[in-house]
Structures are given as C-alpha cells and as structure tokens.
Structure 1
C-alpha cells in the first residue's frame, strides 16, 4: 500500500511539472540553439602534450654535469649534489626559461584573421611578419589603455600597406622591410615568403615578459610516475602548431641552458686543472731533483736492496767468523795433541779442518802408524821396517805440526780481517734507518705529487671528452603533439549542459514560483487545505477576446464546465427538495474580484438552457456587478428599493434578461446607506420564499463574506452556498475563513467553486477531452494558457 501511495504521489508531483511541458520544450530548444551558436562562435582550445625524461646524473656530482663531477672528485663541491625532480620542474616553469622561449618564437606579436564570425589567430599563416626592434614598456602601457597596441595591416593596392590603429582609427602608410616608428615601439614588417595571400590581419604587440607570464600559468608539468623522472608537459591553445612550438622550444631552451651550464663548468674545470698541473709539475720536478741528489750523495740506487745486502753481508761475515774460529780451535787442538810426548798414536781425522794437504798428511800419518802397529804385532822396535816407519812417522809428524802452525797463523789473520769488516758493515747498517727515513720522506712527496699529477692529467682528458661530447639533459620521449578532440568547448558536454539547463531552469523557475506562491492554482491546493468542504466545479480561464458568457448550444470548455457544475449541484440538492418550490443558491467569496458574479450569471444561463425557470438576484447592495452584463438595467429599481418601500411589487422589479427568455434579473437597485439593516429584515426571507414558488432556481449574488456581514445575515435562506475562489488570486490562508465560517455556523452547506483555472492546471474536463466535438486550441494558445 505504501508503494502504491508513493507511486501516486510521484505521479502527482510529475504532473505538476509536466503540465508546463511547453516551457520545458522552449527551454531545451532555446539552450540547444544557444549551445550551437556558442560552439559556432567560440574558439576551440586543443590540448598539446609533450613528454621528456630528465637524465639522472647522480653517479658523479649529483646531476651537476661531468665538469661538476670532476669538481666533486676533487672534493670541491661537498654538499651541492642534488637531482630533485621538483627543482627541474621549477626550472622548466621559470620565468626566465619562458621569456627565452617567447623571444625565440617571437610570440609577443600575435596575428588574427579579421574575416568570419570569430577572430581566429593565424600564427605562421599570416601574410606579414612584424618584428619588434625596440619596445618602450611605459609607452606600451599607455597604448594598451588606449587600445593602440593593436593595429590592422591591409594591402594598399601596391607594395605598401595601410596600418590602422584599433583604438584611435589613425592610419599610416608603411612599406615592408623598413623601420617603422610607432608611439610605443620600433617595428619592422616583413613579407611571409611561405604565403602568397594578401588579406587584412589584426596585429597585437605585447611585452615579452607579459606574454611569458601568461604562458607560464597555462603550461602544466606533471610527474607521470612516482620515483621516476618522466615528465609530461601540457598546454591548451586554440592554435595547435603554436602550442607545439612552445613546448618544443621550452624543452630546447632547457637543454640548451643545461648544456651551456655543463660546458661552462667544464671550461672552468679545464682552467682549474691546467693551473693545478702547472703547479704540481713544478713541485714534482723539485722533489725528483732532490731525490736524485740524495741518491748521488749517499751512493744509493735502491736503499731497501742495499740494506738487505748489508744485512746479508754482516750475516755472512758472522758465519765466516764462526767457521774460522772453529778451524782455529780444531787446529790448535791438533797441535796440542801433536806436541804431547812423542807418542805415535793416531791423529783425529775428518774433524773439519779446511785444506786438503793437512787432511792428506793426517791420513798418511795415520796410515803409517797403523802399518807400524801391525808390524809391531809380530816384531820388535828394532825391526828395520819398524825403524824406517818410525822415522817416516816422525818426519811426517813434524810436517803436519808445521802445517798446522801455519794454518793457525793464517786463520788468526783471516779472523782479524773478518772482525774489521763486520765492524764496517755494522756501522753501515746503523746508518740505514736515518737514510731510509730521509729517503722515504722524499719518496713520499714524489709519489704524492706524481699521483696528483697523473690524476689531473686523467681528469683533463675526461673533461676534454665531456666538453667535446655534450648530451642534452632532457631526453625527449614524445615531441609535442596536439589532440584532435578540443579541450574545450566539447560539443557533447556543451549540448548535454544545454539540455540540462533547458530542463533545469524551467524546473527551477516553476519550483520557486510554486514555493513562493501563496495563491491557490488548482483543485489539489484546496483539497490539501480542507477535506470538509466539497469542490463542485472548476471554471476555466477565459482567453482575452473570448466571450465570458455561456450561450445556448455552447460547446466551449466554459460551457462544459458549468454543465458539470450544475450536474454536481443536483447531488448536493437531493436533501434540499421543497414541494412545489425551487432551489435557492447563493454565490459568495472571501474578497471581491474572485468571480462570484461571473459564476452566478453563467450558472443561471446554464440552468436556463436546460429549460428551468431561473431568477438571478443581485444581493450585493454595496458594490453591484450584475449591471456590467446588462448596461441598460443600471437605472432600474431592484432589491434595495423593494426592501425599503413596501409599495413596490415584486413582479414589477423583476425584468427579462437579454441572454435567455427563461432567465429573469432582479437587480440590486439603488445603493442604500444601510445595506445590512435592509438585509436583516424578514421581508428579504419572504421575498426569497415567494420567488421559490415562482421559479425553479433562485440564484443570489451576495457580497464577499470576509469584507461585510451581509452574506451571514441572509445565509439561512439558502439551500446551498457556492463559495467562489479564483486561481492565482485567492490566497491559501483565506480558505480557512470559509472553513471557520461553516464550523461556526455562520454559513452552511458550503461548496467550493474554483474560477479562472489555467488550462495547464485544469481538472478532468480539459485534460481528458470533455470539450468533445470542439476544435482543439492551437499550440500557441495552449502554450499561453499554461502560465
């Protein structure tokens, strides 16, 4: 059930707006036309894109270039190494960089085509180029304020041109390839050799700095990936080629400055290295000469090798000394053994004595002793052989002794010489540490100078290679290119916005109008305020020029609305039936101007058209309105005269109407000074009762209920009171007056009638075609009636 109610409410809300469909249609149509005109006259702006990679040169010098890397290796750039991508973006967007770009492309001069609905910039397709030789900024400001910084160039029929200032209209006849003095600048006009056209162009001259500031704001630079040096440059411009040239030139200027900076550092590095080489070369020569003199003075070639040789010699001397001492000791022992008593015992052999003769003699001696001892084993001392052998042994003994004594003497001499040489070597070894220290000091200086000299030579070669082969800092990934679809205006978005505005603005106007409207407009407005009082009819708005009276055999919407009203009245008057008497119907309203007289006379006409006898009474004695419909009856007597003078007969005051033979008029008559007192009389009730007997319907047009009490005084005589409200006129809060009047008993049997309802707000009759058989109004009339 809730869903059904929500659906019904949604439909009702939609119907409140859909009834104004002509306005939505006009809004959409109007904004679509505006959108097409906007797209036609607006200059499309295209997005131009370029992408570059900033080379990472952190290996040496932190991205400062090869020369800076050399300085970094020399320890001269500590703390200056950086390759922040934000710094590079800042450099690309710097004012100086953009000024160089504008100056290189001559962008301070713009050219426009004067033909067509819009002024298009023609850039390089201009038939003439203007070169600004000199610009006075202060004079340009004055020219800008006077709009004389803009001028047109038109062919003058020959080789000359006519220059016309936009602001003042002043004209000059000028020639190409000649200096022209303007109030704010000196210019030179040249023909475009790539263009054969000759048509008028608009030229605008601006300071380079102003143009650079404008493009600085337009150029966008974004990092495409985190932790990467890939940059995307974007620029929106109506001229694709111009935007492409700007981005390409900006990248070129960036690389150019980077190369210049790199070369400048490299040149300064080369100068520094050469200066240092000269100094180090001199210092190295001095050290090497000193080393040479030290070696000559000390008779050195290689102090370490000679020191080793000295030590080795000392060791050899000590070893030789020990050997000689051993030989001497052995020799002296053998001599002592030989000098003992004249024994002929064996001598020690192979005891380490040097010299073959001694060892041979000892061997021979021992051989003779052994021979003699062998013979003695079988003979005596006196044996001739033994005697001969003893003689030989004695002689050889003396020979060995003499040889050993000479050997001892020779060993002593040799031992003395070795000791002397050992002392010399020891002295030389003692001097080695001092010489070695002195040598090492000199060698260290020589090595340091030599290493630095070699390092500088290497860096000079590297710097020379870097200077000869300079690469751009920004590697171009994509040269500038323009997208084919405009950045703005985008036709689809513009048309979609036009469609939304065409729907939204009428919706907003209607919504605000409804929000601020405190008047009733349609049946639903009354139903929301009160359910106690029924609504018996809705009367349409009468178009200007149409008749506001229902005629006989009338098939208009107005006539059908009153027929519906009379039909609804029949159901309300069922319980009010009087035997052989007619019905008494009152028409009243809250304030004047709501159409109660209009309702009364047309209701009377509709009932008369059905064959009923009807009398229409003008009971608004203060402001009678029935006379508007019958101008001839303005001077006739009426209700007030009847109530004042008892001599007047009722039949004489009621006269025929010119509208219908069965419709009689009983006008209000003269305006009395005391209408309330007149209506309060019982005579008015007797008048109504008498008329009930003569007519089928007695319709009483009363005064507004809220303004005067007249209607309350006579309401008891009515069978039914038609309370007329007017759409777009009656305030909603006034409806409560009718509800309170019925609740308080001041009025009874009230039914609402809504008058002057617009076609868009009209109820069932017009919406579903109750004007059956009648020609439908044209679209323009229906459109006008919707508001």
Structure 2
C-alpha cells in the first residue's frame, strides 16, 4: 500500500523553479482588497486636503522682439575667429542681461517688493499685494536706502476698533492703528484703508534686503529665445500671486528697455561732451579774431574793402575755406587718435563730421563692442570666456582703428599741402592789391573760418541734443505681460498620484510581506517539495472539536478526511492503527486526532484514542475532560508497571463522546526509555483486538524521537502541517522521513487553511450545509469582523 501511494504521480522538484499560479496570486492579494480600498480612499483624502490647503501658483508670460542693431561691418567679419558674436550668441547675451540682478533690483525698488504681506489662515497663509491690504504700512525713521537694507519679521493682529497687537518672535506689544510704534528699533505706522475691515485678521509682514529679494524673485524668471527666431524673446514668471507675476514681467521689460536706451545714449553723451569742449575753444578763437578785425578797422580807418579784391580774391577765399575744412578734419582725427591711444574702454564720440568713412565705421563698430562688453559685465566678470573674447576683438579693433586714423591723417596732410601751395600762388597774383586791403582780407578770412567752424559745431550740438531727447526704439512688445492660471498644483495629477499610490503602496507592502513570508500556506507548498500524498485540508475554525450532527465546514472536512483514509487503507477487515504526528508542537496534531476520533465514532465504529505524547499531553484538554486526569491513570503508569491491567487505564466513553480514551498519564522524566521498553506494543495489540480504529496522538518528530520509537505499530501515519505556521525549510524533516520510509504509509494533512485568503484549492466546504445558512446575516457579519482582529490558534 505504501508503494502504491508513493507512485501516484505526484511531481516533486527539489531545486526546480516554482511555477506561478495566477489564480492563487489573485485570490491571495484579493483577500486584502479592503486594505487596498482603504489605502486608495486615504490617499485620495490626503490629495484632496493637500489641494485644498496648498497655495496656488500662477504664471505670467510676455513676448518681446529685440530690434536689430546696425549690421556688423565687413572688416569685422574678416577677423576670422575673432569675428563679432553671431546673432544667437548676441541674443543669449541679452538674456543674461535680462536675468541680471540689476534689472530685478529696479523692479523690486519700484514696487517695494522687499516688503511682503501674508494673511494668516488656520492652516496656510495667502500672499497679498500692498494694494489689496486693508491697511498701509510706513517706515518712518529710515531713508529709502536704509529700508532697502532692513530685515524685520512681525505679526500684526487686528482687534476691535483700533486695537493692534504686534508680535516679533516671542515678544509682543500693544499698539493703536493710526499711531506710530517701534519694533526692534524701527518706527512704524499702520494706517487703516477706507472700506476694508481688519477686525479679527492676522498678517505676517516680512522685510528683507533689496538685493536678496531680487535674487530670490529672479529664481522663477524664465527668458528664452522663441523657436526659429533670433530676435524674439519669450518671458515667463511664476508666483503665488497672478497680479504680482504680471507686474514683475511688465516692469522688468520696461527696465530692460531703459537699459538699452541708456547704452545708446552713452554714444550721444560722449559726442555732445566733445562738441561742447570744442565750442568753448572756438568761442575764444572767434572772440580774438573779431577783436583783431575791430582793431584793424579802427587803426586804419577802413570801412569797406569787400569790392576791391575782384575775381582773384573770391578764388582765394574758396581755397582758404577748403584749407579750413581740412584743418578742422585734422583736429577731429587727432582728437579721436588721442582717445584711441588711451585704450580706456570708454565710448568714443560719433557723428562728428569726420569725412573718412573708414574711421567713422571703425569707431561705430568699436562703440558697439564696448557697449556689448559693458552690458555683459553687469552679469559676468572679466574672466568670463565671452568677455575675454570681446576684449580680444576690442583690442584688435583698437589696432585697426589706429591704422585707419593714420591713413586718414596722411590723406588729410596731403590735401592741406596741396591747398596751401595753391593759396601761395593766388597770394602772389594779388601782390598789386594795396597792403592795407590785403591785410584786412587776411584777417577777415580768419574771422570767416572761425565763424564757420563755430556754426558747424553749434549745428552738431543741436543734432546731438535732438538725438538725446528722442527715445530710441529698442524693443517691440509683441505680447504684453499677461497672467494666467493657476498652473499648480494640478488637481488631476495629484488625484491620479493618490490613486496610484493608494493601489501600489498596499500591494507593494503585501508583495514584500509575501516575499519575506517563508511559511506554508497551501498544499502546493507541500507538493512542490516532496511527493507524499495529501489526505486533505482542514479549514480555520474557532471551535476546538466538532459536535454531534455538526454540518460546519470543519466537520465536512473531517468527513472528507475519513473517506480519504479509507482509500489509503484500502479493504481492511481488521483494526486500523493511525498515528498522528507533526514537525513541531502547535501544528494541531492533537486537534486532528481528537476530531478524527469523533468523526469515526459518529459512523458507528469502535474507536480508541491514545494520547502517546507523554511529554506534552493535550488530548483531555481538547475534549474538555482535563478533570479526568486526576482520577485515572494513563500510559506512563502502565509503561512503568506493565503488570497493570490495560482495562484499568481506559476511560470508557466519557460524557459527550462515543469513543474510549487512554490518556498519557503523568509527565515522566524519561519518556524515550519508557517507550523503548516494548510495553507500548501491548497497548496497540490490545487496541487491535477490541476496536475498529486506534488513533494515536504522538509527539512531534522534529523535536524528539518518541514517535520514531513506536512508528512500527502504525498502519497509517498522518503527518499534520499547519498553514501560516510551519517554516517551509522544516519540510525537509517530513520529506526525509517519507523518502527513507521511517513513518509507515505516511500522508499529510494541512491544517488551519484560510480559504478566504486564496490558499488551498478551496473545495467549498460548507456550501449547502448549515454552518453559514443556519446563522443570521448579522451573526455572520459579526463573526467575520471579529475574525479580522482575533488571532486564530490551533494546537
């Protein structure tokens, strides 16, 4: 029979990978669906609370076109690697200028954003702009520059009427609205705003240095080049206040426009300064020439000699005018040369009337790079690679400009020499003109030259002043600053995150729990490790023993076990001796032995239950007959005194039970030696003679050798393993016993299986029976809820 059971086709793979039972996994995880639902609800509630009390973030955007500057000259393009920065790089430089602290400081200073106001709520605080406050705050004893360096944190609590409580840290003072008060050496005045109630409201006022505020505000500023454009910039800003975001972008663009205008005005200012200096000098020359004319006429009594020179005199005047123009050009060029030789990195004057196109173009290009360098230095240092590259370009331009100036001077000198030669020829032709008239004409020509230069400079100065008064067009606003939002937090995303976390987190915890779980849960865990037959699975039960006419799932499971035992034993006319053992204590072997005895006796069989676990007896305790051990003797007494009549140790069908019992007796100090003396075989022989079934509750084989000493007496050995209790690694013990045949006709019973958790095969114990349907819905729900919290215990 044993060989038949061992060859039943149970597959055993000692080291093979375990297959995954999808259905079992679904049932296993599905048992905890309540926790998943609870986690989802909790996560969604947390997401809702977060969204409710989190301050909204708003955004503003704008689009601006930076108008093109003068095209780069061809001579700069010829510099190769030191050519001017391309349009992409130039626009990147402008982006760095916009993001500089200097421009943001102007915005902060204009709007006094270094003072922030938050109205306090029960959980979170809301930022308000000064215009939306029900009060105004003034700093009385500090200049604007001192205010920009101030650091102060106070809490304003408005009471009834004009009561005001001011707290700074743990210190508080009582003040009156509309009257000055001092906090930390700073004199403040809080004034009410008409029509805006303040009673019961609390505000946090924070004052920070302007520089740190500007650095903080520019942290959320974004400036980038528009797609496929080298002139259009996209501005973006985020803030807890939509209005504040709009204001910052609007004023920042205005500050950038002013900065560009200031750069362009520097060229005009340099040119105007030069012209003013020359006007002052020419004025003195003009006064001296006028004085000479006046003195000459007075001393020589000359009234009018304009008509005495004739045609030769007119030609002489023309060449003298040319000489003046050339000499004036020479002065301008020499002035520019002197400035260039200094290499002071300062803006050079433009539009002075220098007739050399080469010099004029070179000066304009040099000024363009100097302005670009100055702009970069607002947000970078001299060591910046871009600045270093610009310095190299500027140095090369200085060198080229000097060469152009020298060429222009050489051309100018040649022109002066030619005109002077022509003048000497004309003056010799006028030798016949009276001396006084000739002298007067010479003085008059000097007067005309100086006067013409004076008028020329006045005209240029007027042009410069007009240019300075006209606002240069630097940028074109394509889309003005406009706020929108809120953009964060996005409710849909947070609810989705809550849903995912609510599902994934409990499943992840369960996954870790199951991965770390090394307990036996189902018959598959047994069948995967060794091929011993599994007689059945016993469901979790709160009742220690089945009752008469019991229709519960536990009773039906034992009836199925009874049937399977019959198949295991086959056609057997004599008594069947069934040993019940386990690996460790607490797995339910005594529970199985007592209940199986009752089920067998219900079928009309003569049953003897023997408590052979003489180390830790539990049989009478399970049956509720522990009081009988005080009035009866047991196995231990018989093994010590084999002359005793076996009938004297039998408890005949105690009250409520239809089977006989031989309990273990007192706990002996040497149980193994007692079982080895051979007299236990006499008890088994007696049982075979007088009963149909003899069930022996033995000691755990994983702890002591008692069971192995008497195992030869068994016809069938039921090996009890408890689900959710026994470590899978301990299955090596029954595996070894089965493979070595140390336990006769060994079969396994899996005890305490929780079918609701998806363990076991789930044959539907109790379906159609009275254990569930005999109770009301209220009782069943009550028991199930209690089962969630009450630990289950099977000995």
Structure 2 counterparts to residues 644-655 of structure 1, below 5 A: 644-655=640-651
Q: Distance in 1 between matches of 2:212 and 2:261?
A: 27
Aligned CA distance change for structure 1 residues 557 and 222 (closer, same or farther; 3 Å): farther
Q: Is residue 578 from structure 1 mapped to residue 572 from structure 2 by the alignment? A: yes
TM-superposed deviation, 1:732: 0.7
**1:526-561 C-alpha deviation (Å, 9 max, x unpaired):** 23323x01222223334xxx4322222333333333
2:528 alignment partner, SS class: helix
- Structure 1 match to 2:31: 19
Aligned CA distance change for structure 1 residues 213 and 303 (closer, same or farther; 3 Å): closer
- Structure 1 match to 2:688: 692
Residues 760 and 785 in structure 1, CA contact (< 8 A), matched pair in contact too: no
TM-superposed deviation, 1:58: 3.4
- Structure 2 match to 1:757: 753
TM-superposed deviation, 1:84: 1.9
TM-superposed deviation, 1:169: 5.2
- Structure 1 match to 2:234: 232
Which consecutive residues of structure 2, in runs of 5 or more, have no partner in the other structure? 1-16, 75-82, 294-304, 320-417, 428-441
- Structure 1 match to 2:50: 38
Q: Distance in 2 between matches of 1:10 and 1:456?
A: 98
Which residue of the other structure, out of 616, 628, 649, is the alignment partner of 2:621?
628
- Structure 2 match to 1:104: 110
- Structure 1 match to 2:496: 496
- Structure 2 match to 1:269: 271
Q: Distance in 1 between matches of 2:270 and 2:480?
A: 33
- Structure 2 match to 1:411: none
Residues 152 and 164 in structure 1, CA contact (< 8 A), matched pair in contact too: yes
TM-superposed deviation, 1:29: 1.5
TM-superposed deviation, 1:204: 2.2
- Structure 2 match to 1:126: 133
Q: Distance in 2 between matches of 1:281 and 1:31?
A: 87
Q: Distance in 2 between matches of 1:695 and 1:439?
A: 164
Residues 614 and 699 in structure 2, CA contact (< 8 A), matched pair in contact too: yes
TM-superposed deviation, 1:703: 0.8
- Structure 1 match to 2:508: 508
Residues 605 and 659 in structure 1, CA contact (< 8 A), matched pair in contact too: no
Residues 587 and 721 in structure 1, CA contact (< 8 A), matched pair in contact too: yes
Q: If the length of structure 1 is used for normalisation, what is the TM-score? A: 0.70
Which consecutive residues of structure 1, in runs of 5 or more, have no partner in the other structure? 63-77, 307-431
TM-superposed deviation, 1:740: 0.8
Q: Distance in 1 between matches of 2:181 and 2:260?
A: 38
Residues 28 and 759 in structure 2, CA contact (< 8 A), matched pair in contact too: no
Residues 529 and 735 in structure 2, CA contact (< 8 A), matched pair in contact too: no
- Structure 2 match to 1:469: 470
Bigger relative CO (Cα 8 Å, ≥ 6 apart): 2
2:679 alignment partner, SS class: helix
Structure 2 counterparts to residues 195-594 of structure 1, below 5 A: 195=196, 198-207=199-208, 208-263=210-265, 265-277=267-279, 299=312, 301-302=314-315, 435-436=421-422, 460-471=461-472, 473-484=474-485, 486-530=486-530, 532-542=531-541, 546-574=542-570, 577-579=571-573, 581-594=574-587
**1:685-731 C-alpha deviation (Å, 9 max, x unpaired):** 23213213322321111111021111111112212222122223211
Which segment drifts farther, 490-499 or 215-224? 215-224
Aligned CA distance change for structure 1 residues 481 and 663 (closer, same or farther; 3 Å): farther
- Structure 1 match to 2:661: 665
TM-superposed deviation, 1:600: 1.7
TM-superposed deviation, 1:453: 8.3
TM-superposed deviation, 1:285: 11
Which residue of the other structure, out of 708, 712, 717, is the alignment partner of 1:721?
717
Residues 618 and 666 in structure 1, CA contact (< 8 A), matched pair in contact too: yes
> When the two structures are aligned, how many residues end up with a matched partner?
624
**1:730-776 C-alpha deviation (Å, 9 max, x unpaired):** 11111011111111222232222222333314434476863744157
**1:553-584 C-alpha deviation (Å, 9 max, x unpaired):** 3333333332333333232222xx432x2322
Which segment drifts farther, 240-249 or 651-660? 651-660
1:150 alignment partner, SS class: strand
1:672 alignment partner, SS class: coil
Which segment drifts farther, 98-107 or 263-272? 263-272
1:120 alignment partner, SS class: strand
Q: Distance in 2 between matches of 1:53 and 1:285?
A: 52
**1:91-147 C-alpha deviation (Å, 9 max, x unpaired):** 22222322322232222333333345432223342211223456799x99xx98xxx
1:655 alignment partner, SS class: coil
TM-superposed deviation, 1:496: 0.8
Q: Is residue 187 from structure 1 mapped to residue 171 from structure 2 by the alignment? A: no
Which segment drifts farther, 219-228 or 37-46? 219-228
Residues 135 and 190 in structure 2, CA contact (< 8 A), matched pair in contact too: yes
TM-superposed deviation, 1:434: 8.7
Q: Distance in 2 between matches of 1:769 and 1:596?
A: 23
1:170 alignment partner, SS class: strand
Give the RMSD, CA atoms, in angstroms.
4.4
1:57 alignment partner, SS class: coil
Aligned CA distance change for structure 1 residues 634 and 79 (closer, same or farther; 3 Å): same
